[in-house]
A and B are shown apart, each in its own frame.
Chain A
């Protein structure tokens, strides 16, 4: 009974994803004629080849390369900068620390919409439209959410470690680099995974800042590819949709332990 209920529930939840996968192997006639079936009558592998060709002479290989470049650069930048800032807030006493910490927490509650317009104006005045700078550069300045998460983690590290390092003659920079940073591994991995997800899915920022299709990440390319007015090859579109989900899905399978623990202790999204 228990397994029946949960099994049915799990199947219902997964059905849309399985459906997408099945549709990526169907030909156009079957996508509409046999819409709900999860097993194609005829397996159509050409969808993937056709889809990969992309549009406007730009292949999905290019879009994936663009996305990986944006996502990997900003993930590394976000995690490193956030851990540096977290150390500053949690292990060093300085004047104004409380006020700045409060400012940081408040930004967590601030709706993004308030900042989008002035940020857009700023980046366009700087001449950064149609470059990756607006997508990547802010990552080097820490992400309040990750800073907060890493701070919580640092509180769990005994202060005696810092003190004994201090006696051995380490300054704050060495304490961070040699003692604390290596111990942060679980927190850094959790942050990196979430950073990867958010950056991979990011849609609004590329939509605002990128004009040249050659620079598009997968999310934006997929939206163009799936434009209801122009799409004719549905199978190819579903095939590319499936491919776009593979990296986050693979990451989930590899790191699910960290992720599930990370989210239940911090509660994101």
Chain B
């Protein structure tokens, strides 16, 4: 994106450049770089914020990996959450985007309406609402019972088998942003490709899998990375709706980290948890990047 510097940089430009990026540079050092380094050293110590940090080497990591069943549990819950919610959300987003590319009356209206859940989805009000919808006296039970699909009210958020499911449904419900990105991607595909395929006798099913999907792979790739990183950092919803319960069945990693750091004030232990998260995300992201040469098609590469 930034073009190569050619020739000598003028002295005045150097000064002006640093003057303009100074806000970011200062903020980067104070709020990102220093905390980043500090976090690593904290992860090697025991620190409760009141007394001074005690150096304990790799003990936090050893305890997390070998003596902490809640770490294992939260990791399992988070993987389950990400592995189900991200593909489901993307598939749903793509499906709706395909519907919305058709030139019909009222498309703008549908696009707006379908985007609304994503606009307000992260707010506390929605989390509170969700808790109520899926509770024992909630609307879902009411609907299922009036349809005769259920006989007794059941609290979806209080059962270990269904609580995580409600959080996943909430995540899928907010499909608007990837949907818009898919929409933009679909608009870029030349119409002539579809016309040519139609002449060759390809039905819409084949056109979808042989034209739309391959052309969309860069967008799918982008959405996949962003949504996965977001998925690992989900906090507010699980904190408000279930607070990790019942029996830690919705203990997302970010929530567990929050509990260690700010409920038990184990700042060192929390930092070690954060570094493990960083490593997991880094490994996953690089795996997706590596795999991308097999399934992501860029136009320039095709010829």
Contacts and interface: CB of A to CB of B under 8 A. Distances in A.
Interface residues of B, number: 97
A232 interface: no
Contact of B128 (A10, A107, A226): A226
B235 A204 contact: yes
Contacts, number: 266
Contacts of B137: 31-32, 35
Contacts of B139: 19, 35-36
Contact of A85 (B16, B20, B126): B20
A92 B17 contact: yes
Given A97-B17, A117-B274, A267-B181, A111 B24 contact: no
Given A88-B19, A95-B14, A118-B42, A249 B99 contact: no
Interface string B172-183: 010001001101
Interface majority SS (helix, strand, loop, mixed), chain B: helix
Chain A interface size range = 35 or more
B245 to A, nearest CB: 11
Contacts of A133: none
A37 B224 CA distance: 37
A176 B284 CA distance: 40
A183 interface: no
A113 B24 contact: no
B76 to A, nearest CB: 18
A115 B123 contact: no
Q: In the complex, which of the residues A31, A94, A119, A121 has the most CB atoms of chain B within 10 Å of its own CB atom?
A: A94
Contact of A119 (B35, B124, B177): B35
B117 interface: yes
B17 A124 contact: no
Interface string B109-134: 01111111111101111101111110
Nearest to B187: A264
A219 B24 CA distance: 28
A14 B9 contact: no
A32 B1 CA distance: 56
What 5 A-B pairs are tightest by C-beta distance, nearest first?
A: A141-B27, A88-B20, A94-B17, A264-B184, A118-B35
11 contacts: A98-B5, A111-B281, A115-B39, A141-B28, A204-B236, A222-B125, A228-B131, A256-B112, A260-B112, A269-B118, A269-B226
